[in-house]
Amino acid sequence: MGVEKTCKVCKEQFTTTSFKSATTINMCDKCYGSKKRTQAEMNIVASFNNKIVAVETRLSKLEKAIEMIPILIGAEVSNALTNITEIDMLSTINKSIQLEYKKRDKKMKSEHNKRIKEIDNFKEKLQKQIVTLNNKIINIIKEMD
């Protein structure tokens, strides 16, 4: 058995759960639940807002870091280019030209060998046709005699 009290929020009568709790409870169960739910909602909103602020802060830091990337790349490229001497550059160019020359030379030799084979095949065909024609001519001459 408890004590009957008036809710300080809705002004309705309610009974406390015990005599001991009568000194500390000032709201009915409905108002107390509403107050706790409101506090929980406020805590969730505050937590969510804190997380949004943290994400925005991280995003801001990331944007600053990304803005620096082109500058860093440019500095590294410039540094690398100043370290290359003219001799190194000429040597690199010479090597690339030699590689390209070897590729083209190999391709030209391959094409040349292919053409030679085609010409040899053509010669053989012509030779066979000449022999055949010669044999026919000999046969015709024999028949005429």
Structural domain contains residue 90:
yes
- Residue 1: pLDDT band with limits 50, 70, 90: low
Residue with the larger pLDDT of the pair 76 and 98? 98
pTM for this predicted structure: 0.41
- In a domain, residue 74? The reply is no
- Residue 114: inside a domain: yes
| pLDDT on residue 132 | 95
Report how many helices (DSSP H) and strands (DSSP E) the chain contains, helices first: 2, 2
Task: Give the DSSP letter of residue 13.
Answer: E
Residue 94 is assigned to a structural domain of this protein: yes
**Residue range(s) defining the domain that contains residue 102:** 85-145
Distances (CA, A) of 44 to 30, 48, 94: 21, 6, 69
**How far is 30 from 131, CA to CA, in rounded Å?**
120
Contact between 4 and 15 (Cβ < 8 Å): yes
Report the domain count for the chain: 1
Q: Is residue 106 part of a domain?
A: yes
Kindly state the helix (H) or strand (E) to which residue 5 belongs, with its residue range: strand 4-6
Q: Is residue 128 part of a domain?
A: yes
What would the pLDDT profile of 61-87 be if each residue is shown by its tens digit? 999 989 989 888 988 888 777 776 667
